Structure 1
Amino acid sequence: MHDTIPVAEIMVEDVVTATPDVTATEAATLLRGENVSSVVIVRDGEPIGILTEGDFVTHLCERSDLGHLRVRDVMSAPVTTIEPTASIVDAVELLRTTDIEHLPVVSSGDSGAEGDGDATGVERAETDELVGIVTTTELTYYVPQLAHRGGESRQRPPRRHVRSDTQYERDDWTFEYRGDDESTVSVGDVARFSKTISDEDVEAFAAATGDTNRVHLDAAYAAETRFGERIVHGVLANGLISAALARLPGLTIYLSQESSFRAPLAVGDSATAVCEIVEDLGQSKYRIETNVSDGDGTMVLEGNAVVLVDDLPPMAAGETDAATTR
């Protein structure tokens, strides 16, 4: 169960930090250079604040120049932290209730000093030590269904046009791309796409393809099968791989896909597709290892694909250039 998984198992241990007397410009340069979304501000090894990309956006709207300011003047403080022994369910709840996305992980000492907090408190003893950080990125990768719990609605979230290579995005979809250069494709890059496959998704897929097998659509019928419940079409689960590949830098064209189905995916479960570029085949072609896991991390399917990555059409490339100059 998720409440038995400690934060220590999923946190990022290599935390980017800075002291409160560095300038905002230096902190911004650190964010860009380390390719991270936050810098934890520390004094004598203890976190006293945090500076995120969102903080920079807020202050840029309010001020014309940040270069002369010190981090202590623009950081968010006090900082909300969590202990490594707390569960990832605690982390999700704390991020939700405080409306933040970055949670430094601290190991509290046994000094018993006044001001000690519990595993999910804000006030900490002076002996606290920064040992890692956990963000919504790690949580949506390991337990994507937890990230969406609580805000669920039978009405689909609104569409958003935020990328030049996709027509629209939804607020309940999660995408992450990790690579040295997010404008090009390279061996070692990893793309992840997560969403909950709803009853409406399964119904729409059955109608679009004609695959109306009752194991996907009829709960009473499915209960009598080896699965014991309705399951998602295998090809629909495989489609999450296509969704991840569609968001690679450039125009991705599918050339082939091989998949082995390892486990059923229940209707209403969250699924995450992970695509890792493992070989440059030349002429803009790449071999990619692909897999899809359910919300508990069970491998649903695995395989590999070959794609061709073309340059974006001039119109879309222009949109990308315009976005980077804003």
Structure 2
Amino acid sequence: MHDTIPVAEIMVEDVVTVPPDATATEAATLLRDESVSSVVVVQDDEPIGIVTEGDFVTQLCERVDFGHLEMREIMSRPLTTIEPTASIVDAVALLRSADIEHLPVVSSTKENTAVAETDGGTVTAETEGSNATGELRGIVTTIELSYYVPQLVHRATESRDQPPRRQVRTDTQYERDDWEFEYRGEDESTVSVGDVARFSKPISEDDVEAFAAVTGDTNRVHLDAAYAAETRFGERIVHGVLANGIISAALARLPGLTIYLSQESSFRAPLPIGTRATAVCEIVEDLGRAKYRIETVVLDGDGTTVLEGDAVVLIDELPPVADHERGAATTGSSD
């Protein structure tokens, strides 16, 4: 799971650094020649600040003769850092809270460094007036993190009031009594940003065994209780892709004909067999031409997040026969 992966495993160790008296021109040349997006300002072998591509653009717009300025005049500080033992989930949380995209990895040893304990490790931030934070070990950015937790690097969307609950026609072949679907949207015939779909169903041993037979994924951690008991999970678990399929089930019930274009998923926790899985899908962006970006989450029966991700879908109009059936159901008539 991602909360067990330390930052040290994914960080870039070859950090591009400059001294405080380096000029903006010298630092910008390093950015270009080394193909990096930031330089860390180092004094006495310890990081004291950072300058990113965005900083260069901002400073260039605001200052005259910018190229001769020294790094100490334009660097961002206090420096926000993270320790190598912290998890990548901690790193994402820190990047979000500080609204930054570059996070130096530092083994903190200084008394004037603020320290905050988290579940995955220690997050540190240089205090005002401090010139040292510890030994620079590497750097992690949203780019590295996106390989592991792509959806977590998206900025949180603004909170919205929930639209009214609607009962909408579902374009599915059949439903079952132990399946639950809820859709909240302004219009029962179209989708729009802010709409939320929830689909829930129990995942049984039969489901897991059938999935293994159909796909050929007969990993014993899903099928053999004695074998699974000796793994880190301690029990049989649901296939990750099967859990992901609950998202597909929710999206299939959006108004219109939903066509999957892409899905990015990050697995956060195992899903035990026999639990009820719930997919929550919120439309967060209208991409134009009937395409939408959707934030997706799957929860287990206790409300624990099993996986998170982003999907992009195309919403086509219903085929004529389905559209006719919907009209007939709405008016209560039949052919």
TM-score by length of 1: 0.50
Question: Computing the radius of gyration over CA atoms, which structure comes out larger, 1 or 2?
Answer: 2
